[in-house]
Amino acid sequence: MFKRAFPKNISKGRILSHTVLILLFIILRLIVGPSSLLILTFVIILILFRHSVEKIAAIMMSIGIMIYLLGADAEANRYFSFVYLLIVISLLRYIYKDFLKEKKSDKK
């Protein structure tokens, strides 16, 4: 009766899988060139697609390893610094959740 808002591929997450996102980023990198703004924009887009921080870190880690193997050490360093930032954010999020659980259990 009603048409779906998204095709089946998008709704099941096939288009937004790791490999497709990595290939999309590599294509954008070839078009735009290596820049920190591209990395930041890509991370923000992944956050807007509501991916978990750990998944974004895994995607950036795999892109960083591929760039490192291609011989661009300075550019790979930028990717790994984003991975480090995302891991720290994830760690702080889990520590904050545990802190809130302890605080709620103390009130009871």
Distance, first Cα to last Cα, the chain: 51
Per-residue pLDDT of the chain (108 residues; tens, 9 = 90+): 445 544 454 445 555 677 788 888 888 888 887 777 888 888 888 877 777 888 888 888 888 898 899 888 888 888 888 899 889 988 998 888 888 777 777 666
**Which among 68, 66, 85, 78 is positioned nearest to 35, based on CA atoms?**
78
Domain boundaries, the chain: 12-107
DSSP letters spanning 2-70: PPPSS-HHHHTTSTTSHHHHHHHHHHHHHHH-S-HHHHHHHHHHHHHTT--HHHHHHHHHHHHHHHHHT
How many whole angstroms from its chain centre is CA 4? 27
